[in-house]
């Protein structure tokens, strides 16, 4: 059997990593076979939730900075800062509530 050249082959652990990243980042339900990040009981580790706080703070800081830049560019009186900060907080609260509801649902066995 003829094997493909080395440059065309991907290692088995890196094959399809983009597709897996896209599946994980959409928030859609996972396949049963792809639940490798959950424990044997189906619960996430505390480290999985540690990123939520960092994401929350980072998103609010980014949107506040963008609002500040928008205010300076348009000559507004902090309306962009306030509006974009509230959008970031509301969006992050939605994601936090969605994650907690997903955690509280009974697991399939």
Q: How confident is the model at residue 99 (pLDDT cuts 50, 70, 90)?
A: confident
Taken as a whole, the chain contains a residue count of 109
Q: How confident is the model at residue 88 (pLDDT cuts 50, 70, 90)?
A: very high
pTM of the entire structure? 0.55
What are the pLDDT digits (tens) for 27-83?
Answer: 656 655 454 444 445 566 677 777 888 889 999 999 999 999 999 999 989 899 999
DSSP secondary structure code for residue 98 in this structure: H
Sequence-separated (6 or more) residues with CB below 8 Å from residue 84: 63, 64, 66, 67, 70
Over residues 84-109, the mean pLDDT reads: 87
- Cβ neighbour number for residue 80 with a 10 Å cutoff: 20
The rounded distance, in Å, linking the Cα atoms of 79 and 86 is 11
| Domains of the chain by residue range | 6-104
């Amino acid at each position: 059997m003829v094997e493909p050249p080395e440059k065309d082959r991907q290692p088995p652990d890196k094959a399809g990593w983009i597709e897996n990243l896209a599946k994980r980042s959409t928030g859609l339900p996972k396949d049963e076979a792809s639940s490798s990040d959950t424990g044997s009981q189906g619960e996430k580790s505390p480290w999985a939730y540690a990123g939520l706080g960092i994401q929350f703070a980072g998103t609010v800081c980014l949107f506040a900075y963008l609002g500040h830049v928008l205010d300076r560019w348009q000559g507004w009186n902090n309306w962009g800062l306030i509006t974009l900060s509230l959008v970031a907080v509301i969006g992050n609260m939605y994601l936090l509530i969605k994650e907690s509801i997903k955690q509280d649902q009974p697991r399939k066995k």
